[in-house]
Amino acid sequence: MKKIMTLVFSFVLALLSSAQELSKTVALSLVYENSVALNINVSKDNIPQISNAYTDESFGLTYLYLQQAYRNIKVYNSIKTLVFKKNVLQSNFGDFVQDIALKANSETPKIKAVEAIKIAAKHLDLINNSELKELENTFDTNKRIIFRKVKLQKKILKQN
Residues 124-139 pLDDT 10s: 887 665 677 888 888 8
Whole-model pTM: value is: 0.60
Question: What confidence tier does 140 reach under pLDDT thresholds 50, 70, 90?
Answer: confident
- Domain boundaries of the chain, sorted by first residue: 2-103, 113-153
User: CA torsion 26→29→33→37, rounded to 10°?
Assistant: 80
Q: What is the pLDDT of residue 63?
A: 94
What does the pLDDT look like over 77-119, one tens digit per residue? Answer: 899 999 999 989 999 999 888 888 888 877 677 888 888 888 8
Q: How far apart are the C-alpha atoms of 127 and 1, rounded to whole Å?
A: 56
DSSP assignment of 82-143: EEEETTEEEEEEE---TTHHHH---SS-SS-HHHHHHHHHHHTT-EE-S---EEEE-HHHHS
Q: What is the pLDDT of residue 32?
A: 86
What does the pLDDT look like over 1-26, one tens digit per residue? Answer: 666 666 555 555 555 555 677 788 88
Q: What is the pLDDT of residue 106?
A: 72
Identity of the amino acid at 49: Q
CB count in 10 Å sphere of residue 107? 13
Identity of the amino acid at 10: S
Q: How far apart are the C-alpha atoms of 48 and 149, rounded to whole Å?
A: 33
Residue 31 pLDDT > 80, yes or no? yes
CATH code for residues 2-103: 3.10.450.490
Q: Is 64 helix (H, G, I), strand (E, B) or coil?
A: strand
Q: What is the pLDDT of residue 18?
A: 53
